[in-house]
Amino acid sequence: MTELLLRAGFGTARAESLPGDASKRYARLHGGPRPALLMETPGQDYLDAFLRVARHLDAIGVPAPAVLAEGPGAALVEDLGPQSMADALDAGADPVPLYAAAARTLAKLHADPPPGGLPAWDAPRMTEAATATFLDWWWPAVFGAPPDDAARAGLRAALLEMLTPFAAEGFVHRDFFPANLVPTARGMAVIDFQDAARGHPLYDLVSLIEDARRDVPEAAREAALRAYGGAPDAAAMAALGAQRHLRVAALWVRLDRRDGKGHYLAHGPRCWAHLARALEHPATSPLRRFLDAHVPPRLRGNPA
């Protein structure tokens, strides 16, 4: 780490630790030649994924933190400032221009093919992710016991049937929402992109305008759709949204039961409401049939 900082001209900089998560640690560097963050990752694979996407974003002109230097398991990246789009919204900023700027960045992100080496985010992977989270965490928390083999097979078949028609090979950020976006003079910048994959790009638009963490005003939603390029494929939005909302509603339960982070359950009702709207579209009928057979509407929410 010392060698990396010396090589980049930050040998005398003071490091201020920032809140992190399980996958990485950040420190803001003060006193260096330019605003920068030191990012420590859990391994080289993680860093390689980050660098691969960072180079791609730079090549296609999408605002993102510039990589200033790199070393084993760590990188020095441009510091875009302390305020994310989520922070700006929480402080009372007008959401309409922010969501429009985010959608313009998203349209630019999706205008080019993804770089090589990204993992797939296709029907089988999306099915696996949603099935594991929903059946391993939400189901036993609500019913008091794990699902039987028939229920597992039924949900897997329903999700595959719903998602397979919407196969695509575009760039998918996978977590394109305000906490991972930063307003800058260059436009809305993208961060936390190391989990990017190949899949249907509209998954990102769902993440933005059907946010699991905050209500999006209708005017901001409409501004985002206009900036992205008009009305998207409603069937794809419904199917992709249904998978995401089911998975994330169960993710909040996992964070509560496994990690003791019960405050995330506050977002559960929003996710279930998003899911209910998605299930009104014919494209989601396989999942709707499964839920009608196994999960009565009165149970569609956080565990009691």
pLDDT single digits (tens) 49-104: 999 999 999 999 999 999 999 998 899 999 998 899 999 999 999 999 999 999 99
Q: For residue 230, how many other CB atoms are within 10 A of its CB?
A: 7
What's the Cα-to-Cα distance from 184 to each of 16, 88, 229, 256, rounded to whole Å?
22, 12, 22, 34
What confidence tier does 18 reach under pLDDT thresholds 50, 70, 90?
Answer: confident
* pLDDT band, residue 19 (cuts 50/70/90): confident
Grouping H, G, I as helix, E, B as strand and the rest as coil, residue 285 is: helix
Q: Hunting for tokens 């930050």 — which residue is that?
A: 10
Comparing CA positions, the residue from 11, 42, 13 lying closest to residue 25 is 42
With 90 as the cut, is the pLDDT of residue 3 above it?
no
**pLDDT surpasses 80 at 144:** yes
What is the pLDDT confidence band of residue 230, given thresholds at 50, 70 and 90? confident
The DSSP annotation for 151-171 comes to HHHHHHHHHHHHHGGG---EE
Provide the pLDDT for residue 192: 92
Q: Do 89 and 98 form a contact (C-beta atoms < 8 A)?
A: yes
Domains and CATH numbers, the chain: 2-78 (3.30.200.20), 85-299 (3.90.1200.10)
Q: What is the pTM of this model?
A: 0.93
> Which residue's structure tokens are 């989601």?
284
Q: At what angle do helices 202-209 and 234-259 cross, to 10 degrees?
A: 60
> Would you say residue 158 has pLDDT above 90?
yes
Q: How confident is the model at residue 106 (pLDDT cuts 50, 70, 90)?
A: very high
